[in-house]
Amino acid sequence: MVAKTVPVDPFDLVVFGGTGDLAARKLLPGLFHRFQSGQLPEGAKIIGAARGEMDTKGFQAHTRKAIETFVAKADRPKADVDAFVAIVDYARVDAMSNAGWSDLAKLLKGREDRVRAFYLSVAPRFFGPICDQIGAAGLVTPLTRLVVEKPLGRDLESARALNKQLSDAFDESQLYRIDHYLGKETVQNLMALRFANALFEPLWNSHHIDHVQITAAESVPVGTRGGYYDQNGAMRDMVQNHLMQLLCLTAMEPPAKFDSDAVRDEKLKVLKALTPITGTDVDRDVVRGQYAEGPDGPSYLTEAGDPTSKTECFVAMKIGIDNWRWAGTPFYIRTGKRLRTRVSEIVIRFKDAPHSIFDAQVGGLKGNELVIRLQPDEGIQLRLNIKDPGPGGMRIASAPLDMSFAEDLGRDIRMPDAYERLLMDVVRGDQTLFMRGDEVEAAWAWIDPIMEACDHGAAAPQTYAAGSDGPSDSLMLMHRDGRRWREIGA
């Protein structure tokens, strides 16, 4: 099966920070793939905008290099790369002064009838100045959209200030706050699984689900990003955004329609129903960690450049949701660097069968498990209890019903990167997979007291072995409830 491609409307995309790391790794390669698949309409223009001295030719060479570096050789025939770099342009602008803005205006002149997207791939302190300059240069048209990405604040107060800055310049309907986890194939499949099948929804509640586990494990260390990362930590880098979003999509009520406000309203309700974790509860329900030195590399503290740092690069938490659907069913989440392997998955652990009709020697019947795997090997697996094959009498074994998307939907399907899909959604004007301002604030409102307690010494980071499943207290978080994590990479 080949993915279907529906061309989008004509557009101009201006990437501020166009010579930066995200543009090179994700945005330009993503746009290149969309171009290759015929989704970019004739005349689409991609403009890199940055402070650096460079002209269009220079940016075209930069774009070529990015594609050669980040797209596999077999996927980038020279003719495709040549044709793609021909549609990129460059404007040298300075966010903090008027320099260059009239040049950018010239590139966009006469193209007011098409979608115009500004992607701010820059530090948040430039969001306000760039919005002001875009406005002052008269570049905002009715079809203008603004794309921003985390960090969207570092607490509730700064998130509010940022939202205000954005909404002073743009209407909420023009704002696209990216959380790239929402662009992952399986995340959208979670919604298809829940709301396109009648099978699961009747069981999707605390009567039938014992608990939920959400894991986003990485094997890489913080490495050279250590100094920067240490200002934030896993709670701000991963939990407040990516893990909260996965939790919301897993826990939300069925929206009336698959449209942006209906979906985001439901996610917001989940965020508002999270049981507050405050004061001494933080020590009980939150585990933080830092990896130790291992055979393959230095410790977190060495990479952070601060031997006294209390910033976490691992978090595990037990979270309650105070509503009818989930009362009594905890959500356990965990994320960390330098763990056993890279895997992101959501595990729905159903309750054990209420009564076993089999003899005692058959053993306990383990509750069914639905595993929604985001990466690697995107897919869905349902673990069922079956009869162990053979003539040896009745024995029960656990076996998976496994659907790997790549295998089951055809080998020639290439899973698009999250950014590819999200960029095209911006052009289409579909905000469903983007965070609304109130969602971002609600997530901070819940996280803030936890971070505050941590700043005052709660849940002090524990050291864990590089390449392990995290600190021992993370295992205890579940053991004390008579549960266990699915092994990372199982």
Shortest separation between residue 165's beta carbon and ligand BG6, angstroms: 22
DSSP 297: B
- Candidates 144, 163, 344, 368; binder of ligand BG6 (CB under 6 A) is 344
Shortest separation between residue 157's beta carbon and ligand BG6, angstroms: 21
Q: Which is nearer to ligand BG6, 134 or 343 (CB)?
A: 343
Q: How far is CA 455 from CA 251, 307, 448, 459, 461, in A?
A: 29, 16, 10, 9, 11
Shortest separation between residue 322's beta carbon and ligand BG6, angstroms: 28
**From edge to edge, which strands make up the β-sheet containing 45-50?**
88-92, 45-50, 11-16, 115-120, 144-149, 175-178, 434-435
Q: Rg for the chain (alpha carbons), in Å?
A: 24
Q: Which is nearer to ligand BG6, 61 or 220 (CB)?
A: 220
Q: Which is nearer to ligand BG6, 22 or 95 (CB)?
A: 22
Per-residue contact flags (x/-) with ligand BG6 for residues 233 to 252, judged by CB under 6 A: ----x---------------
Binding of ligand BG6 at residue 230 (CB under 6 A)? Answer: no
Shortest separation between residue 158's beta carbon and ligand BG6, angstroms: 17
CB 333 within 8 A of CB 230: no
Structure tokens at 447: 């996280």
* Residues 399-438 close enough to bind ligand BG6 by CB under 6 A: none
Beta strand pairing call for 314-319 and 379-387: unpaired
Structure tokens at 147: 């794309």
Catalytic residues: 242
Measured from each CB, the residue nearest to ligand BG6 is: 237
Nearest-CA neighbor of 334 among 178, 448, 487?
487
Shortest separation between residue 229's beta carbon and ligand BG6, angstroms: 7
Q: Which residues contact 367 (CB under 8 A, 6 or more apart)?
A: 210, 349, 350, 351, 352, 353
Q: Which is nearer to ligand BG6, 146 or 238 (CB)?
A: 238
- Candidates 218, 312, 369, 441; binder of ligand BG6 (CB under 6 A) is 218
CB 218 within 8 A of CB 374: no
Structure tokens at 297: 């590399």
Site size toward ligand BG6 (CB under 6 A) is 3
Q: Which is nearer to ligand BG6, 218 or 473 (CB)?
A: 218
**Could you list the residues that contact ligand BG6 (CB under 6 A)?**
218, 237, 344
